[in-house]
Structure 1
């Protein structure tokens, strides 16, 4: 099995796009059920939500507030899973409840090691 990163993107800034407290409670329950299903398969390795604040550091060492590109879609969080293949990882990602929101997306990336173990 190999490690894969599932990046979750949604609009976390536009006030009108934010769920009510009741909706948020439902969404969090759905998300926890999804993650618990991955845990039950022994494929969950970790993950977290990300704050809406950040800094972008460009190659010329200019630091700006961020981390936003020119879109309302922001990186809201990620999880790391183990999967047999990209297809297996994508199959798991397809069930992410974030995808029920208009314009939301998830991205699956294989984690590659660039550091040698000593």
Structure 2
């Protein structure tokens, strides 16, 4: 088994247009999806990310407001899941609720270990 990182991109504009009740209902869908992954022993961690941040350049010589991604490219959150291989990790990601509200894509990346 390996750990995989899901980076969720896009969907914020469509989500922001929802009523408070619709937002709550959508968050419940996320909770159900993540709860199912947790019950299967596949969910390790995951949280939404704030829209604001900083970008550090040149070892801190330059710090700018950021991130500078287009709305559809903005990373809005992440999950870390456990899967047998990349194929299983991709299959799991297909059920992600981000696709319900115009989310651009889920980037799936294997987390590698660093040997000393």
Is the pair's TM-score, using the shorter chain for normalization, greater than 0.5?
Answer: yes
Q: Secondary structure at the match of 2:58?
A: coil
2:26 alignment partner in structure 1: 27
**Structure with more helix by fraction:** 2
The 1:24/1:115 distance shift into structure 2, 3 A limit, reads farther
2:67 alignment partner in structure 1: 67
Whether the 8 Å contact between 2:11 and 2:101 is mirrored in structure 1 is no
Whether the 8 Å contact between 2:6 and 2:106 is mirrored in structure 1 is yes
Question: TM-score, length-normalised on structure 1?
Answer: 0.86
Whether the 8 Å contact between 2:7 and 2:107 is mirrored in structure 1 is yes
Give the C-alpha shift of residue 11 in structure 1. Answer: 4.4
Q: Deviation above 3 Å: which 4+ runs of structure 1?
A: none
2:78 alignment partner in structure 1: 78
- Unpaired segments ≥5 residues, structure 2: none
> 1 CA distance for matches of 2:96 and 2:58?
34
Deviations 1:42-91 (A, max 9, x none): 1111111111110011237321111132x112111101000001010011
Question: TM-score, length-normalised on structure 2?
Answer: 0.87
Q: Secondary structure at the match of 1:100?
A: helix
Deviations 1:7-32 (A, max 9, x none): 111243x5x75122111111101000
> 1 CA distance for matches of 2:88 and 2:28?
24
- Unpaired segments ≥5 residues, structure 1: none
Q: Secondary structure at the match of 2:114?
A: coil
Give the C-alpha shift of residue 33 in structure 1. Answer: 0.6
Q: How does 1:81-96 map to 2 (within 5 A)?
A: 81-96=81-96
1:7 alignment partner in structure 2: 7
> 2 CA distance for matches of 1:115 and 1:78?
24
- Between the two proteins, the alignment pairs up a number of residues equal to 113
